[in-house]
Structure 1
Amino acid sequence: MEVVDVHHRYGKRFVLRGVDLRLSPGALTGIVGENGAGKSTFVKIMAGELRPSAGRVRHDGRFGYCPQQVVVNDALTVRQHLLLLQAAFRLADLRHAEEVMDVLGLAEFVDERAGVLSGGTRQKLNLTLALMHDPRVLLLDEPYQGFDWDTYLRFWELAARLRDRGCSVLVVSHLAYDTERLDELWCLSGGRLQRHLAGAA
């Protein structure tokens, strides 16, 4: 996925001022920035949820998007969510979803309605739905909010697995935790991306 000269504004206020980014295959990339810096706006533009004021986004192949706001139906069980998206994606099986659930510890809640799940468990479902079609590019906006420490570590284990398979993984957060796990780190400030040093996991 490649972002070229993206600008965006709300009214007269510019939040993105000529942002460029290329997500390479098999790379774990992070974007950090203060609240209100425009991180979620940028990810929405990358995912096609929001049209930029100027610039373009190019991508090849399947991509998955896990928004900051959990998007689930409280009346449906975890299993019903999976079956619904299995039909939408025309998937032969739920192998990838089951793998993600096993890593995150979601499998035990498969017959629970989303409305009774804790915030962290709802986020596990949110992440599973973004990954179940085996995307080649994965866009994650604050993906570990509500996770306990064990699940947080499991998340990074999952991210590393995906990276090692050749997936491009973008993690967006307002906190620069565990930057040594990243291959690339960027900071969004003043509407622009600035490259920071990061070490591979």
Structure 2
Amino acid sequence: MKPLSIVAYFDGRPGHEKQTHGILQALADITITDVVSKKVSVSHLAYFKNWATYLLSFLQSPKAEDFHTPVDLIIGTGTYTHLPMLLENKTRLKIYGKPARVVTCMSPERFLLNKFDLCCIPAHDNFPPHENVFITLGPPTSVKFEKQHESDRGLILVGGLDRKSHKWNSRTVAEQIQTIIAKNPVTQWTVSSSPRTPEET
């Protein structure tokens, strides 16, 4: 059986990389995969350089030796992975005459949405329906449901600032957490923050 050939882009951010690894693990559970990992730079300079390269790619002749074989899937999570993934797909299309499927695990910029074959977007982003959008209950993860939940314990995961999708109000978030805890007094709660959670929250 021919392995599913995948190029996975990573931006070094733990939350983003966990989402990509979650989908890679799910694919590996159902088929043989062959994954090549690529790192991207995370900086404003890299972002603008990627845009320039992407917009001027029609002027460039791709080097076939940089892309030895066709791939089935290109996947990544995070704004800084989007353009490198799309650029690689354009290059592979020039070389092999056949594009890969490009998947992102978050909402891309709206003007890039149609460039992706699939966008796995959590419901809490309130993203409008679209033919290539798959709404998930939460971000993809490699953690599997093993039916070991303790009914007297609860977990509250606090997100943080994301100017693309929502506004943040620390007081409102704290009040909502207090309301949940007050309504479930017999539950032993664990509350955890994320790297984006403001300190005052």
Query: Is the strand fraction higher in 1 or 2?
Result: 1
Question: TM-score normalized by structure 2?
Answer: 0.25
TM-score w.r.t. structure 1 length? 0.25
Which one scores higher on RCO, CA 8 angstroms, separation ≥ 6? 1
Please say which structure displays the higher CA radius of gyration. 2
